[in-house]
């Protein structure tokens, strides 16, 4: 039964993150539409991205639904002839019916984009709604993942499966998305994405297993806030916030390739695929051998590795140098990323796993989105090289927080 439950969860995780990853199919289209067609600066693009990404910032409020407001339906009593509508005779589930709602909503949004077309208002409206539905899917899966990680001592395997699925789909979206962007065929992009919530609904109908909620939790704000008095937990939050707020230079690199170097859209797609392949290899390495190392050692490695590899991107005389960096560093980047995700899981205190993990993820997403705006401003004001230097310096600063992370000293 244990192995069966784990396998069903893995399938749940794969579908959730595959459905999330397929949105990258039209991610490239949106970049070219906003930056190259409408002529928006990176700062404006980042602000728009922040707006449609708000559902990922307020995940803790969405998680309240899952932890405290399970949904159910009346079921047959032993008599089998009487349908009881009483509250005590109702089977309620934490995620099952929310997942049905999410995926039906995704189907309607994808159909809406195909019908109304790609405009600024459709990008904002449907982009926001799509993120709402996918973030609720994500919270449903992540809250289950935190419970399974601790219940079955998975040691990061649950997180690895999630991101391996995202990586596999990311490989597909990099290549196909680049091809679709050449003709701006957004209808086909959203049509392909439409298949994933349909598959998700089939899974919910025939495979998904979930025990009914035995006792409804009462929303206790004092109980939730008590977790934030734990200094160990707070240091973990500070580390995540500082790491994610570090100005990235991914969008700046994209602009540098397209605006300065004249790299083709297809090469950008191939480059993304190569990075995804080697990153995926890193996820698999972590799944297989990540538990052989102490998390503290892996975190130190991740910070130092990121800072060093950042510096290589100061020297990009040709597009093939960027390709070489993706090949050389891709697998290690995958391991580093999985280390950070496992750390996020490890700091979650027992009780209110869905809510607390959503709070941690919301903080991470808020800082990451804020990093995008800061990065766009740096690039627009001082250029690409300044963006890389500032990113590297702030990354190194995160090393000084690691000694304060007492949770890493636990066996």
Per-residue pLDDT of 298-325, as tens digits, reads 999 999 999 999 999 999 999 999 999 9
CB 156 within 8 A of CB 338: yes
CB 25 within 8 A of CB 173: yes
CA–CA separation, 275 vs 41, rounded Å? 26
Strands (E), 270-326: none
> Which residues, including other chains, have CB under 8 Å from residue 307's CB and lie 6 or more apart?
392, 395, 396
Domain count of the fold of the chain: 1
Name the token pair of 409: 């000293």
Q: In this structure, what DSSP letter does residue 404 have? A: G
Which residues are paired to 90 by β-bridges? 74
The domain of 325 spans 2-409
CA distances from 339 to 247, 295, 328, 394 (A): 20, 7, 19, 19
CB 109 within 8 A of CB 127: no
pLDDT digits over 26-49, tens only? Answer: 777 777 888 888 888 888 888 888
Name the token pair of 301: 């490695």
Among candidate residues 101, 100, 146, 141, the one with its CA nearest the CA of residue 18: 141
CA distances from 86 to 68, 96, 98, 211, 376 (A): 19, 20, 21, 19, 55
Among candidate residues 316, 266, 369, the one with its CA nearest the CA of residue 48: 369
Name the token pair of 119: 């405009």
CA–CA separation, 94 vs 136, rounded Å? 12
pLDDT of residue 87: 40
> Which residues, including other chains, have CB under 8 Å from residue 406's CB and lie 6 or more apart?
231, 232, 235
pLDDT of residue 408: 59
Question: How large is the angle between the packed helices 353-382 and 231-245, nearest 10 degrees?
Answer: 30
Question: How large is the angle between the packed helices 120-151 and 319-346, nearest 10 degrees?
Answer: 50
pLDDT of residue 74: 59
Low-confidence ranges of the chain (pLDDT < 70): 1, 73-90, 155, 216-217, 219, 350-354, 407-411
| SS3 state at 72 | strand
pLDDT of residue 214: 76
Among candidate residues 290, 344, 67, 31, the one with its CA nearest the CA of residue 180: 31
Predicted structure pTM score: 0.73
Sign of CA dihedral 338, 339, 342, 343: negative
Among candidate residues 31, 146, 144, 158, the one with its CA nearest the CA of residue 94: 144
Q: In this structure, what DSSP letter does residue 76 have? A: B
**Average pLDDT in the chain:** 85
CA distances from 131 to 37, 65, 387 (A): 23, 17, 28
CA–CA separation, 144 vs 208, rounded Å? 13
CATH at 402: 1.20.1250.20
Name the token pair of 383: 């250029």
CA–CA separation, 215 vs 172, rounded Å? 43
Name the token pair of 66: 């899952």
CA–CA separation, 341 vs 73, rounded Å? 35
Which residues are paired to 207 by β-bridges? none
pLDDT digits over 49-67, tens only? Answer: 889 989 888 887 878 888 7
pLDDT of residue 118: 83
């Amino acid at each position: 039964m244990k192995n069966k439950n784990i396998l069903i969860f893995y399938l749940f995780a794969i579908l959730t993150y595959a459905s999330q990853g397929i949105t990258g199919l039209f991610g490239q289209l949106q970049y070219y539409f906003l930056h190259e067609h409408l002529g928006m600066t990176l700062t404006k693009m980042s602000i728009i991205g922040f707006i449609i990404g708000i559902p990922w910032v307020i995940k803790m409020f969405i998680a309240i639904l899952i932890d405290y407001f399970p949904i159910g339906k009346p079921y047959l009593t032993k008599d089998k002839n009487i349908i009881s509508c009483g509250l005590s005779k109702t089977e309620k589930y934490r995620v099952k019916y929310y997942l049905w709602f999410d995926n039906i909503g995704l189907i309607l949004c994808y159909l809406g984009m195909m019908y109304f077309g790609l405009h600024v208002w459709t990008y904002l409206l449907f982009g926001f709604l799509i993120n709402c539905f996918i973030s609720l899917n994500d919270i449903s899966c992540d809250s289950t993942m935190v419970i399974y990680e601790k219940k079955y001592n998975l040691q990061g395997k649950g997180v690895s499966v999630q991101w391996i699925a995202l990586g596999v789909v990311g490989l597909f979206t990099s290549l196909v998305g680049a091809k679709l962007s050449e003709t701006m065929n957004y209808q086909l992009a959203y049509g392909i994405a439409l298949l994933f919530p349909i598959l998700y609904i089939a899974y919910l109908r025939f495979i998904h297993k979930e025990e009914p909620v035995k006792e409804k939790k009462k929303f206790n704000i004092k109980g939730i806030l008590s977790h934030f008095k734990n200094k160990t937990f707070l240091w973990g939050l500070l580390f995540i916030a500082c790491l994610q707020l570090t100005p990235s230079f991914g969008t700046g690199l994209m602009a540098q390739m397209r605006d300065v170097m004249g790299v083709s859209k297809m090469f950008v797609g191939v480059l993304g695929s190569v990075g995804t392949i080697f990153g995926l290899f890193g996820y698999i390495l972590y799944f297989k051998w990540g538990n052989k190392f102490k998390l503290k050692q892996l975190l130190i490695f991740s910070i130092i590795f990121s800072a060093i590899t950042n510096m290589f991107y100061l020297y990009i005389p040709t597009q093939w140098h960027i390709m070489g960096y993706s090949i050389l560093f891709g697998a290690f980047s995958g391991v580093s990323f999985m280390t950070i995700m496992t750390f996020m899981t490890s700091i979650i205190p027992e009780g209110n796993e869905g809510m607390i993990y959503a709070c941690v993820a919301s903080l991470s997403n808020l800082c990451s989105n804020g990093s995008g705006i800061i990065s766009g401003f740096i690039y627009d004001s001082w250029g690409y090289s300044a963006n890389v230097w500032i990113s590297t310096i702030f990354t190194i600063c995160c090393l000084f927080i690691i000694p304060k992370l007492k949770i890493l000293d636990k066996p």
